[in-house]
Amino acid sequence: MPSRRRIDFAAINRAALNDLPAILARWLPRGRIEGDEYLALNPRRADKRLGSFKINLRTSRWADFAIGDSGGDTVSLAAYLAGCGLAVAGRRLAAMLGISGYD
C-alpha cells in the first residue's frame, strides 16, 4: 500500500478560501451572508436562530459565540462539523476541492 503524502493544510485552506461561500452553502445550507460573514445554524447543538455561529469569508476564522467553540480555518471547521480529526477533515476537503494525492 503506498504511503500518503504529508497533508499540506495551508494549501488546502488557501484553495478552500477561494470557494468558501459555496462550501459553506453546501455544509450549512440554511445560512446567509451578512457583510464579510456567513451566519449559520450550528448543527452540533440545538441551534434555532442565526447569529451566534459565524464564519469570516475573508479569513475563514469561525466561532460559535454561544458556546465558545472556534477555529482558524476551513479544515478546522470541517473537522468540527464532522466530529473528526484534522487529518481526516483535510483529506475530505482536499477531495471535495479536487486536490489529489491525499486519499
Residue 4: which pLDDT band, with cuts at 50, 70 and 90?
A: low
What integer is the mean pLDDT of 75-83? 98
Residue with more model confidence, 5 or 11: 11
What integer is the mean pLDDT of 46-67? 96
Q: Scanning the structure block, which residue is given the C-alpha cell 487529518?
A: 87
| SS3 label, residue 94 | helix
Q: Assess whether pLDDT exceeds 70 at residue 1.
A: no
Q: How many helices (H) and strands (E) does the chain have?
A: 4, 5
pLDDT in tens, 6-29: 999 999 999 999 999 999 999 999
d(CA 25, CA 13): 17
Domains of the chain: 20-96 (3.90.580.10)
DSSP H or E stretch at residue 64: strand 62-64
